[in-house]
């Protein structure tokens, strides 16, 4: 990322797009207090510099038949960089795994997995996840409900105190 310093207008644009990625450039410009052409240039620069990674729709998994969300905590036998990368590459190929985080601490990775039902998850667990090379342990936690799912970052935090 070559653009390190974001001004108040950039932050406003990012905050507004994070809240509504379908907002028109004209509406975005109005909210940012600038005209549409420079707003579009700023958005393109924010995309180019990697501050905006993409745009997507937030879908309702249950409405689409995915009734089960499981968080799997995965421990590996080896944490050598090549083994970590190999596991991450394997995870990238599994469609049921929607998020993967490498962690510091007791477990090596946390996966968020969606499945149509518990049987589909168990099949994935036994045929793919636990049988994958280097996997030492998997602990599953079934999600009961989602209380908060807010993507992005909190733009409304007060600035950090200097010192």
Residue 161: what pLDDT?
67
Domain range for 70 = 62-142
The answer on 79 and 103 residing in a single domain is yes
Residue 163: what pLDDT?
58
Residue 96: what pLDDT?
98
CA atoms lying within 13 Å on the CB side of residue 1: 12
Sequence length of the chain is 163
Residue 157: what pLDDT?
77
Select the more confidently predicted residue: 151 or 108.
Answer: 108
What's the gap between Cα 4 and its chain centre?
22
88 lies in a domain? Answer: yes
The answer on 83 and 14 residing in a single domain is no
The answer on 137 and 93 residing in a single domain is yes
The answer on 110 and 84 residing in a single domain is yes
Confirm if 23 and 13 have CB atoms less than 8 A apart.
Answer: no
Confirm if 13 and 28 have CB atoms less than 8 A apart.
Answer: yes
**What are the structure tokens assigned to 121, written together?**
């998850």
Residue 116: give its domain's CATH number.
Answer: 3.30.70.920
In angstroms, the CA 64 to CA 24 distance is 28
148 lies in a domain? Answer: no
In angstroms, the CA 55 to CA 28 distance is 15
152 lies in a domain? Answer: no
Contacts of 162 (CB under 8 A, 6+ apart): none
Q: Of 15, 117, 107, nearest to 66 (Cα)? A: 117
The answer on 85 and 138 residing in a single domain is yes
> At residue 104, does pLDDT exceed 90?
yes
Q: Tell me the backbone φ, ψ of residue 43, rounded to 5 degrees.
A: -60, -45
Q: In angstroms, what CA-CA distances link 143 with 75, 77, 110?
A: 20, 26, 13
The answer on 101 and 31 residing in a single domain is no
DSSP-derived letter for residue 87 is H
Average pLDDT over residues 49-66: 94
Residue 3: what pLDDT?
45
Average pLDDT over residues 138-144: 97
The answer on 70 and 18 residing in a single domain is no
Number of independent structural domains in the chain: 2
54 lies in a domain? Answer: no
């Amino acid at each position: 990322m070559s653009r390190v310093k974001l001004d108040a207008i950039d932050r406003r644009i990012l905050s507004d797009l994070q809240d509504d990625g379908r907002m028109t450039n004209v509406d975005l410009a109005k909210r940012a207090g600038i005209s549409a052409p420079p707003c579009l240039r700023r958005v393109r620069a924010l995309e180019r510099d990697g501050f905006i990674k993409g745009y997507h729709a937030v879908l309702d998994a249950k409405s689409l038949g995915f009734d089960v969300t499981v968080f799997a905590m995965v421990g590996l036998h080896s944490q050598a960089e090549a083994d970590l990368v190999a596991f991450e590459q394997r995870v990238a190929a599994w469609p049921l795994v929607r998020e993967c985080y490498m962690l510091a601490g007791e477990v090596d990775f946390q996966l968020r997995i969606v499945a149509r039902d518990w049987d589909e998850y168990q099949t994935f667990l036994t045929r793919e996840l636990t049988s994958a090379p280097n996997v030492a342990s998997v602990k599953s936690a079934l999600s009961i409900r989602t209380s908060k799912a807010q993507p992005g970052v909190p733009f409304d935090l007060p600035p950090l105190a200097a010192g």
